[in-house]
Amino acid sequence: SAADVFEGSKSQCGLTYDDVIFLPGHISFGVDEVELVSKISRKIAVKTPFVSSPMDTVTEASMAIGMALHGGIGIVHYNMSVEEQCAEVRKVKKFKNGFITEPTVLAPHNTLADVDRIKEQSGHSGIPITLDGRIHSKLVGIVTKRDIDFQEDRSIAISTVMTTDLVVAKEPVSLVEANELLRQSKKGKLPVVNEAGALVSLISRTDITKALDYPLSSVDAHKSLLCGAAIGTRLSDRDRFLALVDAGVDLVVLDSSQGDSEYQRDMIRWIKDIHPEIQVVGGNVVTRTQALHLIQAGVDGLRVGMGVGSICTTQEVCACGRPQASAVYHVSRLARKFGVPVIADGGVANTGHIIKALSLGASCVMMGSLLAGTAETPGDYFFQDGVRLKRYRGMGSLEAMKVGSAKRYFASAAKVKVAQGVSGAVVDKGSLNQYIPYLVMGVKHGLQDIGFKSISDLQTNVAIGKVRMELRSAAAQREGGVHSLHSHSSSNN
Ligand code: XMP
């Protein structure tokens, strides 16, 4: 059982996901009956136990929106100004499926050259025109490709060519109603206006025909997507926290590689005192003692992992950390007694690792490298040796520190910079729209093989020793991977 593996005579040896394996159970249900409902913090339940890392090559608004639509949550990184981070959080909170809530807008006095520029930068060619060129002011027209295609002179004002005979939708409007209006009008764009005729959002025909249904979405009481954000534990982070609350954040993650500190305990107490409704995740921790200190200070969730991320060098630089399966097991055993959910952070390289993290007691997994390279991450794709790649870097890497993330890895304003991470590249994984369902299905198959329909069933049975688990020798680990082929290509990843 897990207790024998992690607390028996071998317990002096730290173990990670690949060291252990479950023995299969009995299957009496279909894979579609498996549910992955879980918790990310005391008060926040999710339908998909996935969290995206607060890293500047992983989570900004687009990733946080994608994660929440698929039932998880994204944690917006803080390697940017307070204003920029709040703007990302606002984009998530304001997101409405199918509606463009921050369309590019121009004023009547702008020229066709301005339209060309926008088309070049963003690809958009249907641009709403308001009195002063800003959203939330009076809509006076729309410019589409057809209005400007054959105009030789690009210096003329938009007002001379824009369409003023508008088909608009009045707020509030549902996607179904908008769809019907677009069908009748045969237009490409449908501006949504309020009572006063001011532009509030835009609906695009191409978006609507592609619009997916997201039955698992993580939403708050007002049906806005849930959004998390990372902050530090300095005094200045208190202002950041207050601004994020103003922007609508649901959960904050105190970002530290060694979370058992007085700074963090002070921050947790301060937050729970002034904004008890905001969920606070503390960490990172890897031992029961560290976890207890944060639980006593009042955390709503614990982030577990030290130096196990794919881009981490903390264990090598600081001689401190813990193999991830041991860390998740031990912290979860303690946290469970207090009802505090655990987020297993880092070192997840496949769906098998996710299943192991959940069964050892984690409520959710936080992922950096597994999500890096998806379309929703910040940064552009590039080609190298014929492969389409995106950059992925540790927040303690020199590259990220140049932008400003030194806070997490240096307690004080040290003059010598010691990197605790590296930067590199990962392959293009396409959109979360296909990738998350693929991960979800892999995890469901795992639960089915072990014989449980839900994460809580699985965890309870692991905790009482009803699920059989064994250590794997080095040879067994090789056997469990691909072997004995002259060459192979992976069709899955
Ligand atoms: P994965 O394995 O998912 O890990 O790529 C992501 C997690 O790694 C942590 N992280 C770092 N750890 N140096 C470290 O020691 C770094 O530069 C660094 N950057 C990120 C973080 O916990 C993240 O969620």
Phi, psi of 35 (to 5 degrees): -115, 140
Most confident residue range from 140-149, 171-180, 333-342, 398-407: 333-342
d(CA 398, CA 406): 9
The pLDDT, as a whole number, for residue 12 is 76
Q: Is the pLDDT of residue 456 over 50?
A: yes
Ligand 1 centre distance from Cα of residue 45 (Å): 24
Q: Is the pLDDT of residue 212 over 80?
A: no
- Average pLDDT, integer, range 148-177: 88
How do 73-76 and 228-231 pair as beta strands?
parallel
Ligand 1 site-directed mutation target among 59, 258, 312, most atoms within 8 Å of CB: 312
Nearest CA to ligand 1 atom 19: 394
SS3 180: helix
> What does the block give as tokens for 28?
């009496």
The pLDDT, as a whole number, for residue 409 is 55
- Average pLDDT, integer, range 434-455: 97
Q: Which atom of ligand 1 is found nearest the CA of 419?
A: 17
Beta strands per DSSP E along 50-185: 50-52, 73-76, 99-100, 127-130, 139-143, 169-170
Q: Does the CB atom of residue 55 touch ligand 1 within 6 A?
A: yes
Residue 395 assigned ligand-binding role: yes
Residue 257 assigned ligand-binding role: yes
pLDDT band at 353 (very low <50, low <70, confident <90, very high): very high
Q: Is the pLDDT of residue 11 over 80?
A: no
Q: Is the pLDDT of residue 491 over 70?
A: no
* Global pTM value: 0.87
- The ipTM, to two decimals, is 0.93
Ligand 1 centre distance from Cα of residue 399 (Å): 14
Ligand 1 centre distance from Cα of residue 124 (Å): 36
Q: Does the CB atom of residue 283 touch ligand 1 within 6 A?
A: no
Q: Which atom of ligand 1 is found nearest the CA of 366?
A: 24
Q: Is the pLDDT of residue 153 over 60?
A: yes
Residue pLDDT, tens place only, 265-309? 999 999 999 999 999 999 999 999 999 999 999 999 999 999 988
The pLDDT, as a whole number, for residue 457 is 96
The catalytic residue positions are 312, 408
- Average pLDDT, integer, range 400-422: 71
Q: Does the CB atom of residue 51 touch ligand 1 within 6 A?
A: no
398 Cβ partners below 8 Å, 6+ apart?
417, 419, 423
The pLDDT, as a whole number, for residue 263 is 96
Q: Does the CB atom of residue 142 touch ligand 1 within 6 A?
A: no
Ligand 1 centre distance from Cα of residue 310 (Å): 7
d(CA 339, CA 291): 12
- Average pLDDT, integer, range 343-367: 97
How do 382-384 and 189-193 pair as beta strands?
unpaired
Residue 366 assigned ligand-binding role: no
> What does the block give as tokens for 136?
């939330």
Q: Is the pLDDT of residue 238 over 90?
A: yes
